[in-house]
Amino acid sequence: MGKLEIEASCFMKKIFILLLILIVIVSCSKKEKEERILIRIDDVVITANDFKYSFEYAIGLTKIGPNPRRFYLNNLIKELILAREGYKQDYHKGDYVTNRVAQRKDDDLLEAFVESRVRKRVKIPEKEIEDAVKKSSIKFRMIILPVTSLKQGENVYLEANKTNLEDYIEKQLERQEVPLDRKKFYETDWLDYLSIPPDILKVVQDLEIGKTSEPVPYGDGYALFQVLNIHREGIKIDDLKYGPRRKKMEKRLYNIKADKLIHQIMDSLLTPMNIAVKSIIIDELSPLLYLWYQDGIKKKYSINEMIINAPDTSKSYMIGLKSLLDEALVSHTGGKIKVRDYFDFMNYNRKTLHESQSVEDLRKRLIAEIGRMMKNREFIKIAIEDGYADSTRIRRDIRNWEQKWTYEIFKYNLVKDIKISDSEMKDFFKHRWRELDLADVDNTRFSKYENRVYNAVFHEKYIAVLDSAVEVYKKKYPLYVDYKLLDELELQDDPKSIRTTLLVRKNFNWQQVVPIVDLKWFTF
């Protein structure tokens, strides 16, 4: 190697080192800026990073005007002042806040458990992804006819083989005096190999189109299958390496492997616990809960509180539920879990039971939900043992949400006594009806727009009460805002990005990622 080549090589190495140092400096400078204090109210601090996430995850309505970041910040400061007074008056110690904080912390710990014990362990080889993309190019449409017993299945098989399963179902439906089903009810959409259970796939992949399978185990009984059609899609080389099709397949494979790993962990934890669900209590609970769901369970109230505070004149299902609160629902090697313990879990997990179509359906869902509760308790325990409860990320998340919920409950107590009279509403409609964006021809039809008038008058009073409270309480707490830092932050606040609104939620549990400014500052 010549002298010039050596010098050139050394020069390039120096340039590389300088670039590396520059990247590190810029990166550190950016991180340092994100952790700097943007807002301080009394002893509460909001970092630039806290503000950035809140701003960028908020919807466009909260970021308007010539200076959207300043507009958003001013409304955030109002909330922080009210939250600070809420803390002063101990609103953060009430059930509204403490129950939500406990649930959020449990969810954060569950997410930390899944991240550390599941996601990081799931690896999908390149060849497996490519093979899955190839195999998924073959899709089946078929008929599935469930039967209750093997004997019934064998009889159906003999009859269906005279023509086919499709024809057999049509003849059975024709015999119904009142048609309860249609043939379409038994037909599937296009399914690939990942959408079909492996034991069923073995049956249908070698089944000739139009032929009926023998009865095979399916669900709680058996089923017969007939392939209606098979579709084979072409695959480009690019599909195997990158693109939406590959990404979708990689995600599906990941979810399957992650679920399998979670079940393995769950079995290893729960099996030694000798968990026994009390079927007698389940049988008593199911019809009572079903009746309550039929009548409508209030969404925003504690299940236990509604039951405990129910008067003796309440409906029979409420009296029955109250009598079961201290009964042991589950026993295990570590002790017992009472019905009231499950209801604490049920507070934030009502949707699945709400979808029940019958008492028996609810009973099955209830057992599954109890299993989920037991699984979650053990996973949370492991996350705590792993030290995640004290992690910076979780502590910051809990702090931000506790602050938000303290603001909400304090705000509620400020505005709960607002009253709107008929004369106020009629006066608003008479003199300010244009504020409702009505056509001139509608300006005398008060009854048609009464609800809109009420909301407009209420919101005006609502904002007046809150603004007045902010003016009072901000004198109590010293406020510091680093406006220079605010202007320097890299935010998506150009007109186009603000018009594009996305509601960002976690994949893990579909909850909001961070608190955003209250929409009720702007609309009601």
Instruction: State the Cα–Cα distance between residues 15 and 184, nearest whole angstrom.
Output: 69
Element counts in the chain: helices (H) and strands (E)? 21, 9
Look at 73 and 260; give whichever has higher pLDDT. Answer: 73
Inform me whether the pLDDT recorded for 4 exceeds 60. Answer: no
Look at 370 and 522; give whichever has higher pLDDT. Answer: 370
Which candidate, 345, 329, 332, places its Cα nearest to that of 281?
Answer: 329
* Entry pTM: 0.76
pLDDT of residue 89: 97
Inform me whether the pLDDT recorded for 32 exceeds 80. Answer: no
pLDDT of residue 342: 93
Inform me whether the pLDDT recorded for 62 exceeds 60. Answer: yes
Lowest mean pLDDT among 47-61, 298-312, 498-512: 498-512
What proportion of the chain, given as a percentage, has pLDDT over 90? Answer: 51
Tens of pLDDT, residues 262-288: 888 888 888 888 889 999 999 999 999
Tens of pLDDT, residues 442-480: 666 788 888 999 999 999 999 999 999 999 999 999 999
What proportion of the chain, given as a percentage, has pLDDT over 70? Answer: 89
Give residue 23's pLDDT band: very low, low, confident or very high (50, 70, 90). Answer: very low
pLDDT of residue 179: 61
State the Cα angle at 478 between 474 and 479, rounded to 5°: 80
**Stretch 29-54: mean pLDDT, rounded?**
82
Instruction: Decide: 365 and 356 in contact? Cβ < 8 Å.
Output: yes
Instruction: State the Cα–Cα distance between residues 480 and 520, nearest whole angstrom.
Output: 25
Percent helix, strand and coil across the chain, each to the nearest 5: 65, 10, 25
Q: Checking DSSP bridges between strand 276-277 and strand 221-232, what pairing results, if any?
A: unpaired
**Stretch 343-361: mean pLDDT, rounded?**
87
Inform me whether the pLDDT recorded for 18 exceeds 60. Answer: no
User: To which residue do tokens 């405990």 refer?
Assistant: 308
Tens of pLDDT, residues 483-496: 999 999 988 877 77
Exposed, middle or buried by CB within 10 Å (0-12, 13-18, 19+), for 126?
A: exposed
**Stretch 84-101: mean pLDDT, rounded?**
94
pLDDT of residue 17: 54
pLDDT of residue 508: 61
Instruction: State the Cα–Cα distance between residues 235 and 250, nearest whole angstrom.
Output: 16
Instruction: State the Cα–Cα distance between residues 392 and 402, nearest whole angstrom.
Output: 15
pLDDT of residue 29: 47
Inform me whether the pLDDT recorded for 174 exceeds 60. Answer: yes
Query: Sign of dihedral through CA atoms 365, 368, 374, 376?
Result: negative
Average pLDDT of the chain to the nearest whole number: 86
202: which residues sit within 8 A by CB, 6+ positions away? none
Tens of pLDDT, residues 353-405: 888 889 999 999 999 999 989 999 999 999 999 999 999 999 999 999 999 99
pLDDT of residue 216: 92
What are the DSSP calls for 339-382, one per residue?
Answer: HHHHHHHHTT--HHHHT-SSHHHHHHHHHHHHHHHHHHHHHHHH
Q: Which two tokens stand for residue 365?
A: 């869902």
Give residue 28's pLDDT band: very low, low, confident or very high (50, 70, 90). Answer: very low
Inform me whether the pLDDT recorded for 21 exceeds 60. Answer: no
pLDDT of residue 308: 93
Query: Sign of dihedral through CA atoms 52, 56, 60, 66?
Result: positive
Tens of pLDDT, residues 190-248: 999 889 988 899 998 889 999 999 999 998 899 999 999 999 888 888 788 888 888 88
Provide the residue type at 378 as one letter: E
User: Where in the chain do CATH 3.10.50.40 domains reside?
Assistant: 138-232
Exposed, middle or buried by CB within 10 Å (0-12, 13-18, 19+), for 72?
A: buried
Instruction: State the Cα–Cα distance between residues 121 and 513, nearest whole angstrom.
Output: 24
What is the CATH code for 138-232?
Answer: 3.10.50.40
Instruction: State the Cα–Cα distance between residues 269 and 127, nearest whole angstrom.
Output: 32
pLDDT of residue 13: 56
